[in-house]
Structures are given as C-alpha cells and as structure tokens.
Amino acid sequence: MHKTHRLVHAGLVTLLVAGLSACGGGTNGAAGHQTGDGRGAGGTGSGQDAPPQQDRVSGLRAGVRHLSRRTVQATRPHLVTTCTPATRQVKHTKRSGRSKKTWYTTEHYQDCHKTPQGTETYRRVIRPERWCVALDDVNGNKQRDNVWYRVTYPTYNQALGSDNHAPLRFTPMGTGC
C-alpha cells in the first residue's frame, strides 16, 4: 500500500514540475516577469522590453549615458535583542528490561527576541547605478535607431572611448535606460 502511494505521489510531483516549467519563461521563474531593471512586469522605460535572455546586439554608437545611484534618507524601527531568563521542564525516560523510569528536570535558558526601541536612519536606494549605450542601425536594421541598452561598466567604457557612429557589438543587460 505504501509503495503505490509513494509512486502516485512521485508521479503527481513530476507532472506538476513539468507543467510549471512549461509555463515559466522568466529569469526568476515567473512567466512574463522581467528582472534586473527595477520596473518589474509590464514596466516601460523606452518603450522596448528585452526578452528574458538577451542575445548579442550590434550597431553604430549613437550615445552613452551614466546614471548615478540615487538614494534618500529613510527611517525604520531600531530593533534591539532583549533576553530574559526562563525555565522549562524536560522529561527523561530510561528503560531497563520491562521497567521504565521517568523523571523531570528543570532546564534554564535565555528567551531572546527582538523588540523595537526607537528609530534609526539609513540610506534607501531608489535608483541603482546604470551604464547605458545607444545604438543606431541595430543588428543591421536601418529602421531601429537610438535604441538604449543597459550594459556593464567595461562595455560602457569601451563605448565611451570609441567615436560616434563607430561599430559596436556587445551583450546587453537589458533595454532602456
């Protein structure tokens, strides 16, 4: 009885995993959810959404842009660990042949939990640092001009050092800036 129950359970789990993996597609497992740009699903930046896994793009350098990290000062509750001494009864059992002996002891321990005590200030990031490159004639398509891509710092540096309308080829981190 237990073997058939386990087999049925394993089969159901396998079907569930196969169904969920077929429906998924995003990099974080949620279908249609784009990560890494801070906009979430359905967000718009420059009107273009990048597929979850972007391929290499090529085109002519149209511009570069660096967006510095933006933070604001915020407050949150300051949590302090408070401990109080406490005791609990522990049951002990010893078997010897047919007889069983049971006794209880008192165990001392520290009952610790976090309690709010005032507030603290911290810097909350509202925009992460971004490096962007704009391309004209993306992948040879003369209609696609001035398309912005988020890139890594080394790619940004390479584009910054190149001339305007110089050919570039890189793998973007996402679209829009």
pLDDT digits (tens, 9 = 90+) for 105-134: 999 999 999 999 999 999 999 999 999 999
Please tell me whether residue 142 adopts helix, strand or coil conformation: coil
The DSSP string of 65-120 is EEE--EEEEEEEEEEEEEEEEEEEEEEEEEEETTEEEEEEEEEEEEEEEEEEEEEE
Q: What is the pLDDT of residue 143?
A: 84
Q: What is the pLDDT of residue 12?
A: 66
The pairing of beta strand 57-67 with beta strand 167-170: antiparallel
Cβ atoms within 10 Å, residue 115: 10
Please tell me whether residue 141 adopts helix, strand or coil conformation: coil
Q: What is the pLDDT of residue 146?
A: 86
pLDDT digits (tens, 9 = 90+) for 79-88: 999 999 999 9
pLDDT digits (tens, 9 = 90+) for 31-56: 333 334 444 333 444 444 444 556 88
pLDDT digits (tens, 9 = 90+) for 87-98: 999 999 999 989
Contact between residue 86 and residue 75 where contact means Cβ atoms under 8 Å apart: no
Q: What is the pLDDT of residue 109?
A: 95
19-23, 43-47, 117-121, 158-162: range with lowest mean pLDDT: 43-47
Q: What is the pLDDT of residue 148?
A: 93
